[in-house]
Amino acid sequence: MKQTPESRPRAHLPPLFDLVRIREAFPILRRTVNGHPLIYLDNAATTQKPQGVIEVISRFYEQYNANIHRSVNLLGQLATQEFEEARAKVQRFLNAASAKEIIFTRGATEAINLVAQSFGRAFVQAGDEIVISHMEHHSNIVPWQMLCEEKGAKLRVIPIDENGELLLEEYEKLLTPRTKLVSVVHVSNSLGTINPVKEIIRIAHARGIPVLVDGAQAVSHMRVDVQDLDCDFYAFSGHKVYGPTGIGVLYGKEELLRKMPPWQGGGDMIASVTFAKTTYADLPNKFEAGTPDIAGAVGLGAAIDYVERVGLENIAAHEESLLQHATRRLQAIPGVRIIGKAARKTAVISFVVDDPPLSALDVGVKLDLHGIEIRTGHHCCQPVMDRYGIPGTARISFAMYNTIAEIDYVAEVLAKIVNEAAGKARPTPQVPRELIFPKPFAPSPAVAAAKLIETFDFLETWPERYQMILEFGRKLPPMPDELKTEANRVRGCQSTVHIAARKRPGTSDVLEFLADSDADLVRGLIAILQKVYSGQRVSDILSFDVENFFARLGLDKHLTLGRRNGLAAMVQRIRDLARQIAEEARQEEERLKEETQQRPAKSVSAGVS
C-alpha cells in the first residue's frame, strides 16, 4: 500500500506500546509450566529474551564468529565491528560522553568487583571508609568487605526506615574526610525502592567523594543518563535488560578510569609486553583482559535496540500500572503484608503471609504449580531481611510483557492458597511430656531409601510428588518448643529449621533426631530425612549417598542439593551430629581400653590360693 503523508509514521512520536506484539516477540511466553500457561514474574532475577536477540546471537555464530581486535581477516573485522557497535549502543543507552567509558564485564557483579579491586587498590588505605546502604545486594557488599579486610578500611552503612527508604540525614552524617567512595543501589531488587541517587551523588560530590551506582535493577525500567546523574561509575547486567547472560557493563568517567590500574592482566589489555616491562592499552581495553563474551555483547546491543524500539518511557508507564494494580490486589488479601512501601518504587513487590503464617518457600512452590514463576528467599539481601526480622519474602517482579490479567490470576491463586492454609491451619501439636523420637523406618538408610524410591516411582509428575512430600510433613513427629533453640537452628535454609539429635539411650552409635520447620515443603523433606537417617548407626549414616538418593527420588531437579534451599544444610547438620556421636563412641572405647589396661591383672596364683 502506498503511504500517504498522513499514514506515514511521524518520527518525533514515541513508539506505540503494543502489548500483544511484545508478548509475541518473546517465544518463551508460549510455553506451559506444570500444565498452565507460563506467568513469568521473576524478572528481577533475569528477564526473558525477545526472538530478535536470540536470532542476533545465532547469526553471530552462524555468520561471523571470530575473535575480535588484532585481526586482518574479514570475519575478525566483522566481529570487531559488531562488538564495538554494541559498545556504542551502550554508550548512547546510558548517554555516556564517550565509548571509552564503557567497559564490558561479565555482569554487574564483575563491574563492582572491578571498581573494588582497581579503584580500591589505588585509592583506599588503612583507616579509610567506604559507604554503602542497608539495602544493597550482596554483590555490592561483599566486594567492599573484601577490600576493607585487605586494606584495613571500614564499611559504613546508610540505614533504611520501615518503608524501605534510605535515611538521607544519616547518610550525610556518615560522610567524613576518610570516605573514599559511596556505592549505592539505584533500584532495590528486594524492596523495589528507587533511591534518590542524583541527590546522593550531589551530596557526595560536594565533599569530593566519587559514587558508584549499582543499576542492575534500574536500566530496564527507567531511562538512565549517567551525565545527568553525574555518577562516577554505573554497573548493570545484560541479562536483566532482555539481553543474554555473561555480559554486563561498567560505565566509568574517563578521567577516573585513566587513573585506575588494570585489575586483570592478559591479552587485549596491553600496548606492549616485554619481560622487563608491560605497558597497557588505552581505555576501555585496559580493563578488558582476555577474549570477552563477544556474542553476548552483540546480543546486549540487540536487546538495547529492542528496548529503545518499545520505548523506555512506554515500558516505565506500563510497569507503573502493573505495580499499582498488583499492590492493590495483594493488599486486599487478608494476611498478606507487603515489605517495602517506599514512595518511589518500581517493578518489584516483596511480601510475606502472616496470617495464617505461610513460609515464602511454600508460597513460591504452590504458585509454581499454577505456572506462576516468582522468587522466594532473601534475594541476596540478607541484611534487608534482618532489618525486617524475617527469613525471606516472596517476590514478584515485572517486565514489559506482563499483563494486568496475569496479576489478577496471581492474586486469585494467592488468595486461594492463603484461604486453604487458613482452613488447614496446623493445630498446635500435642507435644507429649517426654520426648518421643520416631522408631527407625527401616533397618538401614539404604533399605529406607529403597522403600521411599519405590513409593515415589509410582508418582510421575512433580505436583504428585510434591503432594506426597506435604503428606509426609503432616505426619512429622512434633518437636517441643524448648528444643527450638539457637544452637539447634540450621542456618542456610530459606525457612526456619531446627534439628535436635541425641544418641539413642542404651546404644553407643545410633543417632535419632527431631526436627521442624515453618515451611510445609521443608517439613516434608525433614520427614524424608528422618525416615532415612533417624534411628540408624552413625557409620551407616555417614556412608549413605544422599545426593544419589534425592536424584533417584526425582526431586533433584526441583530441590537442588546445592546452596539455596537448605536441604544441603540439613543433611550437613545431621552428618555433623553423626560424626560427633562417632567421635564420642571412639573416645569412650579408648577410655575403656585404657581402664582395662591400667586395672591390675588378677593374679592367677591369688586365684588358686
Does 189 participate in binding ligand PMP (rule CB under 6 A)?
yes
Does 216 participate in binding ligand PMP (rule CB under 6 A)?
yes
How many angstroms separate the CA atoms of 71 and 78, rounded? 10
Q: Which is nearer to ligand PMP, 107 or 473 (CB)?
A: 107
Pairing of strands 278-280, 32-33: unpaired
Residues that bind ligand PMP (rule: CB under 6 A) add up to a total of: 14
Q: Tell me how far, at minimum, the Cβ of 140 lies from ligand PMP, in Å.
A: 6
How many angstroms separate the CA atoms of 442 and 199, rounded? 65
Taking CB under 6 A as the criterion, the residue among 47, 91, 133, 217 binding ligand PMP is 217
Q: Which is nearer to ligand PMP, 239 or 370 (CB)?
A: 239
The catalytically annotated residue of 148, 380, 381, 493 is 380
Tell me the chain's radius of gyration from C-alpha atoms. Answer: 29
Burial of 173-209, coded b for 16+ CB within 10 Å and e otherwise, reads ebbeeebbbbbbbbbbbbbbbbbbbeebbebbeeeeb
Q: Which is nearer to ligand PMP, 216 or 501 (CB)?
A: 216
Site string for ligand PMP, 6-45 (x = CB under 6 A): --------------------------------------x-
Q: Tell me how far, at minimum, the Cβ of 335 lies from ligand PMP, in Å.
A: 27
* HEC profile of 233-285: EEEEEHHHHCCCCCCEEEEECHHHHHHCCCCCCCCCCEEEECCCCEEECCCCH
Does 237 participate in binding ligand PMP (rule CB under 6 A)?
yes
Q: Which is nearer to ligand PMP, 46 or 517 (CB)?
A: 46
3-state helix, strand, coil in the chain (%, to 5): 45, 15, 40
How many angstroms separate the CA atoms of 213 and 194, rounded? 12
Collapsing DSSP to helix, strand or coil, 497 comes out as strand
Q: Tell me how far, at minimum, the Cβ of 510 lies from ligand PMP, in Å.
A: 44
What CA dihedral angle connects 381, 386, 390 and 396, to 10 degrees? Answer: -20
Q: Tell me how far, at minimum, the Cβ of 380 lies from ligand PMP, in Å.
A: 6
Does 402 participate in binding ligand PMP (rule CB under 6 A)?
no
Does 137 participate in binding ligand PMP (rule CB under 6 A)?
yes
Query: Which triple of cell numbers denotes residue 72?
Result: 586482518
How many angstroms separate the CA atoms of 101 and 91, rounded? 8
Q: Which is nearer to ligand PMP, 239 or 465 (CB)?
A: 239
The window from 102-110, 219-227, 308-316, 556-564 that contacts ligand PMP (CB under 6 A) reads 102-110
Active site residue 380: yes
At 272, give phi and psi (nearest 5°). -150, 150
Does 109 participate in binding ligand PMP (rule CB under 6 A)?
yes
Does 214 participate in binding ligand PMP (rule CB under 6 A)?
yes
Does 384 participate in binding ligand PMP (rule CB under 6 A)?
no
The H-assigned helical ranges of 434-545 are 445-457, 462-474, 520-533, 538-543
Taking CB under 6 A as the criterion, the residue among 185, 194, 213, 361 binding ligand PMP is 185
Does 536 participate in binding ligand PMP (rule CB under 6 A)?
no
Q: Which amino acid, one-letter code, is at 78?
A: L
Q: Tell me the catalytic residues.
A: 380
Residues that bind ligand PMP (CB under 6 A): 44, 107-109, 137, 139-140, 185, 189, 214, 216-217, 237, 380
